[in-house]
Amino acid sequence: MYDVIIIGCGIVGASTAYELSKYQLKTLVLEAEDDISLGQTKANSAIMHAGYDPEPGTLMAKLNVEGAELCKELCQKLSVHYHQIGSLVVAFAEDELPTLQELLERGQQNGVKDLRIIDQAELREMEPNLSQEALAALWAPTAAVINPWELCIALGETAVVNGVELSLNQRVQNIEAITGGYRITTETDSFETRFVFNAAGVHSDLIHNLVAEPSFKITPNRGEYFLLDKSEGNVVNTVVFQCPSKVGKGVLVSPTVYGNLIVGPNSEAVPTEELDTGLDTANTAAGMEQVAELAKRSVPDLNLRQSIRNFSGVRANSTASDFIIQEAAPGFIDLAGIKSPGLTSAPAIAKYGINLLEEAVGEQFVEKAGFIDERQHVIFQNLTLAEKNQLIKEQPDYGRVICRCETITEGEIRAAAHSPIPPVSVDGIKRRCNTGMGRCQGGFCGPRVVEILADELGVSPLDIYQDRRGSFILEAATKEAEVTEHA
């Protein structure tokens, strides 16, 4: 029997696994997909919010501010990209100015440091490409940008290195109470555990309903984005938000941690009723037009022709206004309805949830000796020339550049294939070492990544997926097709 099973491995499940791996506990993570971080954690704005948005006194306010501090430390310890570029909430009309003051006061009550309102002159100096209509802004220097899946994978890998078990392709379908805990059933297996964390994101209401009366509902909401080429990455220097208003929260324009520009998101309801329903993450023409129009309010000369990728993410909005962190049944903790700022808050959500469990079951978990709180991750292009030469001498694979846009070497791809949570798809490799993230979006390196991954997995290139299970890239030519082609 396991001590703890975590259902779902997005940033909340991975943070909980990382935190639990510090204790003498037998912990298992069950994830429905063939990799971790494929839910909301994969597709969002990637902002470490400073913490002026949530209502004071809510869990969101407390955990946002605590989480922002913890994320900063974790990114440093676990070798995850983190750029503290600060954020601006910009007022474009006189009637938006009181909102800046409200957000300032809210942030101060929440304990956000160094917030202040800046006037038009200072704003123009900081962001010369902003609309001439920009009047003033709330400046939050503690806000930052990260790569969300990189942090999730770093936390998941560290948990695994410290003894947590991770089982992929395990979609939880049923949970029954048994003596001393729960039996959790997936499509293929069943597992017994004393305690459970429900970190199933958009499906966290359905998992809750397997053990308790329905008390909340997830109301999924899609946000669409443009990702622009690095040539546009310095159009703004900070995360530029618009003032939230009656008509919506506006969209942001921000540099990414890799120097691209991200523009979005809008907000659209998405239906999901069943545990096995896939979420609709398609981009829509109407959605993209809406994002473009709103973003040009901030930066009128935005060059969306430099878009290299569109994507969307689905928010786990819920019928509750706050995060839902509660004991749903004895020893069963919901970490549910974790919408924005959930990425920022996740490490604090994990600590809070574990404390709640300890209190609820009247047990103090015992820390284990030898916890490894670091992650080695070679990024070839960040090495000095001498370090590069030395590495190539020792491992010649690092001398072959596969992804030309991002300068990623074969050595990094092969190292990713041997990482503690080995990827099984081309995008899994991308999430670990950045291949295909550049202007060509994998057009050049994709076929080589397929070959290398097939070699590492000992399978045919025909068996390699682009991303989720079944998304095959290559198809064997049939005799008939070959004949037609050569005719």
Ligand X SMILES: Cc1cc2nc3c(=O)[nH]c(=O)nc-3n(C[C@H](O)[C@H](O)[C@H](O)COP(=O)(O)OP(=O)(O)OC[C@H]3O[C@@H](n4cnc5c(N)ncnc54)[C@H](O)[C@@H]3O)c2cc1C
DSSP string, 182-209: EEEEESS-EEEEEEEEE--GGGHHHHHT
Angle between helices 426-433 and 446-457 (to 10 degrees): 100
DSSP string, 387-398: HHHHHHHH-GGG
Across 40-77, b (16+ Cβ under 10 Å) vs e yields bbbbbbbbbbbbbbbeeeebbbbbbbbbbbbbbebbee
Joined together, the tokens standing for residue 30 give 């069950």
Q: To 10 degrees, the CA torsion angle through 235, 238, 239, 243?
A: -90
**Among the listed residues 65, 343, 391, 450, the single contact to ligand X using CB under 6 A:** 343
Beta strand spans in 368-456 (E): 401-403, 408-409
CA–CA distance, 206 with 220 (Å, rounded to integer): 13
State the minimum distance, in angstroms, from the CB of residue 36 to ligand X: 6
Between 235 and 252, whose beta carbon lies closer to ligand X? Answer: 252
State the minimum distance, in angstroms, from the CB of residue 244 to ligand X: 14
If you ran DSSP here, which 8-state letter would residue 383 be given?
S
Region of 336-344, 430-438, 468-476, 479-487 interacting with ligand X (CB under 6 A)? 336-344
Region of 3-11, 106-114, 281-289, 466-474 interacting with ligand X (CB under 6 A)? 3-11
Between 172 and 294, whose beta carbon lies closer to ligand X? Answer: 172
Contact between 442 and ligand X per CB under 6 A: no
State the minimum distance, in angstroms, from the CB of residue 102 to ligand X: 20
Contacts of residue 186, Cβ cutoff 8 Å, sequence gap at least 6? 30, 170, 171, 172, 173
**Among the listed residues 181, 255, 313, 446, the single contact to ligand X using CB under 6 A:** 313
Residue 49 annotated in active site? yes
Between 148 and 446, whose beta carbon lies closer to ligand X? Answer: 148
State the minimum distance, in angstroms, from the CB of residue 187 to ligand X: 9
Contact between 146 and ligand X per CB under 6 A: no
Joined together, the tokens standing for residue 449 give 């990544």
| Count of chain residues binding ligand X (CB under 6 A) | 41
- CB count, 10 Å around CB of 384? 8
State the minimum distance, in angstroms, from the CB of residue 204 to ligand X: 7
Is residue 335 helix, strand or coil? strand
CA–CA distance, 240 with 237 (Å, rounded to integer): 8
Between 233 and 341, whose beta carbon lies closer to ligand X? Answer: 341
Phi/psi at 322 (nearest 5 deg)? -110, 175
By CB under 6 A, the residues from 213 to 272 that bind ligand X are 223, 265
State the minimum distance, in angstroms, from the CB of residue 11 to ligand X: 5
Is residue 315 helix, strand or coil? strand
By CB under 6 A, the residues from 173 to 212 that bind ligand X are 199-203, 207
Region of 7-15, 378-386, 390-398, 412-420 interacting with ligand X (CB under 6 A)? 7-15
Between 257 and 415, whose beta carbon lies closer to ligand X? Answer: 257
174 to 127, 177, 182, 202, 448: CA distances (angstroms): 52, 10, 10, 17, 41
250 to 292, 295, 298, 431, 472: CA distances (angstroms): 11, 8, 10, 28, 37
Between 346 and 415, whose beta carbon lies closer to ligand X? Answer: 346
State the minimum distance, in angstroms, from the CB of residue 99 to ligand X: 19
Tell me, residue by residue from 8 to 27, as one string, x for binding to ligand X by CB under 6 A and - for no binding: xxxxxx--------------
**Among the listed residues 75, 314, 416, 445, the single contact to ligand X using CB under 6 A:** 314
By CB under 6 A, the residues from 29 to 48 that bind ligand X are 30-33, 38-41, 44-47
Tell me whether residue 30 is exposed, middle or buried, using C-beta atoms within 10 angstroms of its C-beta: 0 to 12, 13 to 18, 19 or more: buried
Joined together, the tokens standing for residue 293 give 């129009």
Between 32 and 348, whose beta carbon lies closer to ligand X? Answer: 32
Between 124 and 171, whose beta carbon lies closer to ligand X? Answer: 171
Between 12 and 243, whose beta carbon lies closer to ligand X? Answer: 12
Contact between 464 and ligand X per CB under 6 A: no
**Among the listed residues 59, 97, 275, 383, the single contact to ligand X using CB under 6 A:** 275
Region of 105-113, 340-348, 371-379, 479-487 interacting with ligand X (CB under 6 A)? 340-348
Cβ 298 vs Cβ 93: under 8 Å: no
Is residue 81 helix, strand or coil? coil
Contact between 168 and ligand X per CB under 6 A: no
By CB under 6 A, the residues from 48 to 67 that bind ligand X are 49
Joined together, the tokens standing for residue 111 give 């304990």
State the minimum distance, in angstroms, from the CB of residue 49 to ligand X: 5
Is the Cα torsion angle 236, 239, 245, 249 positive or negative in sign?
A: positive
Contact between 375 and ligand X per CB under 6 A: no
The catalytic residue positions are 49
Question: Which residues here bind ligand X, judged by CB under 6 A?
Answer: 7-13, 30-33, 38-41, 44-47, 49, 171-172, 199-203, 207, 223, 265, 275, 313-315, 338-344
